[in-house]
Amino acid sequence: MIRLILILIFLLFFAIYSIVALPIVYIVNKINDKTGQKHSQRVTRHAFKIILFLAGTKIDIKGLENIPKDRSVLFISNHRSDFDVVIIYALLPVLTGFVSKIEVKKVPILRRWMQFNKCVFLDRKNPREGLKAILAAVENVNNGTSMYIAPEGTRNHEKEMLPFKPGSLKIAEKSGCPIIPIALTNTDAIFENQKPRVKKARVQITFGKPIEVGSLDAEGKKTLLEDTQNTVKKMLEDNLKS
């Protein structure tokens, strides 16, 4: 329980820090949107690195060089833990927002940091609002911000991935940006496997090579969802072998 208590104490201090920092980021964001976003993501990344340190998480990283530095992409991954976003966001070297469920928008301080990071909130129960969120994500990509989404739609602790939800790759299809597949292994060993304890764990994260959506023919576009899931599945199998 000590690790969980340390993380909760840090989050309390971060909330107090945010009361001062968020108005500053808001002002900077009004002056220069991109500068405000860079500052916000820098703060978020450092906070997540501290959380991972307090959790005792060790990360084996592969394929970081596959992330383009000169264009926006759509990151997709399997989803096993609440720590997935923490791990991914702590490592990404490019400006990135992520697609989150609408319920997270109810958390005041978290909501503001996410908005400054160009995250979008997806309401799956409301198709019209869901489309607005996807279009906002496409606009982010077109303006230089990569996006991240977990196409399974929920955390999954089974051996096999859940089917990727139809429409989860629309951001790439509509913008033409590449997809970077991500495979996360053992992230649920940090917290979910022994709630409410946070346990020291070693996890693996692999960034795959870009899937060039804009270069796909009609048949490739038709099978994109299945092909992308199979790519992540193969990467997960390789993680287990290493």
Query: Distance (Å, rounded) from C-alpha 73 to C-alpha 151?
Result: 15
pLDDT in tens, 195-207: 889 999 999 999 9
Report the pLDDT value the prediction gives residue 79, as an integer from 0 to 100: 92
Query: Distance (Å, rounded) from C-alpha 52 to C-alpha 87?
Result: 8
Which residues contact residue 46 at a Cβ distance below 8 angstroms, ignoring those fewer than 6 apart? none
pLDDT in tens, the chain (242 residues): 899 999 999 999 999 999 999 999 999 999 999 999 999 999 999 999 999 999 999 999 999 999 998 899 999 999 989 999 999 999 999 999 999 988 888 888 999 999 999 999 988 788 788 888 899 999 999 999 999 999 988 777 777 888 998 888 999 999 999 999 999 999 999 999 888 899 999 999 999 999 999 888 888 888 999 999 999 999 999 888 76
Neighbours of 233 (CB within 10 A): 15
Report the pLDDT value the prediction gives residue 235, as an integer from 0 to 100: 93
Query: Distance (Å, rounded) from C-alpha 45 to C-alpha 27?
Result: 20
3-state class (DSSP) for residue 97: strand
Six-digit token pair at 54?
């307090």
CA-nearest of 162, 158, 174, 164 to 214 is 174
Contact between 58 and 5 (Cβ < 8 Å): no
Structural domains present in the chain: 2-241 (3.40.1130.10)
pLDDT in tens, 51-96: 999 999 999 999 999 999 889 999 999 998 999 999 999 999 999 9
Q: What is the pTM of this model?
A: 0.93
Q: Are strands 201-207 and 179-185 parallel, antiparallel or unpaired?
A: antiparallel
